[in-house]
Amino acid sequence: MLRHSPASPLLSLPGAVPAEGRDEGVAAHYGDLFREQRALAGGAGFVDLSHRGVVTVTGDDRLSWLHLLLTQHVSDLPAGHATEALILTAHGHVEHAMYLVDDGETVWMHVEPGTQGDLLAYLESMKFFYRVETADRTEDFAVVHLPAGSIADVPAGVAVRETSHGRDLFLPRTELESYAAAHGPAMGILAYEALRVEAHRPRLGFETDHRTIPHELGWIGSAVHLQKGCYRGQETVARVQNLGKPPRRLVFLHLDGSDVLLPPPGTPVRLAADGEEGRQLGFVTTSARHHELGPIALALVKRNVPVDAELLAGNTAAAQEVVVEP
């Protein structure tokens, strides 16, 4: 069951246009998409991600217990070290993606909007006799993203995930408006998403479907540790890694800029040589307008699509860049 977070108070800021779909609850933009992208790329401002779910795990066994459940090696995770991890089905398909950090006493993780309820239910079902406590903290804490290069202050006592893409703050929700006033301007989710697509970073529910395995999206290494012990779905991960290739692969698309509309998620991808009536070889997962690159997209295509093939996303010409090797 999806459990959505409260609508952000920052939607009352001047120029705020509400986002739709999975990102409902925060601003799509504040009046100037490209200005917001350029600011984020330059390390300025912040992104309100308060619609994302926040889950915590406390207790003496928290890291050793999570190590048994997640695809990532976390049993010896140093305090303050950011990582990401997946939970797979028994058949190795991606079910949850978590972005986490341990502050020395608590593991903090943020997840896709509305998925925290199902994640928490699974974690609760796996507690057994371990000394752990899990909690949904979405109503109490808001995720705020500071871009790479930002010199904004982090309030004392706030848990922080620091990565090459920036810092994610687990900010008390009651402090969100005051933080925005002190460290603005706020940037919308569309600017954040355009930079995510540029960086080829997959997102659960966007680049994934019910059949997705981690190899298809380049999650091996960043979210899946190949030398750790058993976890649900590990046999599939090992078999594909050692004996085969994933059936699909993530690609980055440069789209023809003459089209007014972006191809929406789910748009069929075909070989340009076969035209719009050709055999479907994949589909668009996320599309965006980038302040420098123009219209871009991520797509999931069959592994055997030639890496130098010109493609069509719907009726839009698309040149591909390899993200996951065939």
Q: What is the pLDDT of residues 205-260, one digit of tens each?
A: 999 999 999 999 999 999 999 998 899 999 999 999 998 899 999 999 999 988 77
pLDDT of residue 3: 55
pLDDT tens digits, residue range 25-61? Answer: 999 999 999 999 999 999 999 999 999 999 999 999 9
Q: Which helix (H) or strand (E) holds 252?
A: strand 248-255
DSSP per-residue codes, 21-71: GGGTTSEEESS-HHHHHHHHHTT-SEEEETTSEEEEEESTTHHHHHHHHSS
Mean predicted confidence (pLDDT) in 285-300: 97
Measured CA to CA, the distance from residue 283 to residue 248 in angstroms comes to 11
Distances in Å between the Cα of 316 and the Cα atoms of 164, 196, 267, 285, 305 are: 32, 21, 10, 15, 18
Q: Which pLDDT band holds residue 75 (cuts at 50, 70, 90)?
A: very high
Residues whose CB falls within 8 Å of the CB of residue 175, separated by 6 or more in sequence, listed in order: 155
Helices and strands in the chain, H and E counts: 6, 18
Mean of per-residue pLDDT scores for the chain: 95
Q: Which pLDDT band holds residue 306 (cuts at 50, 70, 90)?
A: very high
Closest CA to 142 of 173, 168, 116: 173
pLDDT surpasses 70 at 2: no
Measured CA to CA, the distance from residue 1 to residue 23 in angstroms comes to 17
**Residues 134/57, Cβ–Cβ less than 8 Å:** yes
Mean predicted confidence (pLDDT) in 75-87: 97
Closest CA to 285 of 262, 311, 256, 304: 262
pLDDT of residue 244: 86
Structure tokens at 72: 């990532």
Structure tokens at 11: 């939607």
For 4, phi and psi rounded to 5 degrees?
Answer: -85, 150
pLDDT tens digits, residue range 89-102? Answer: 999 999 999 999 99
pLDDT of residue 46: 97
pLDDT tens digits, residue range 44-54? Answer: 999 999 999 99
Structure tokens at 145: 């993203």
For 205, phi and psi rounded to 5 degrees?
Answer: 85, -10
pLDDT of residue 1: 46
Mean predicted confidence (pLDDT) in 138-154: 96
Domains in the chain with CATH codes: 9-52+140-199 (no CATH), 247-325 (2.40.30.110)
**Residues 267/284, Cβ–Cβ less than 8 Å:** yes
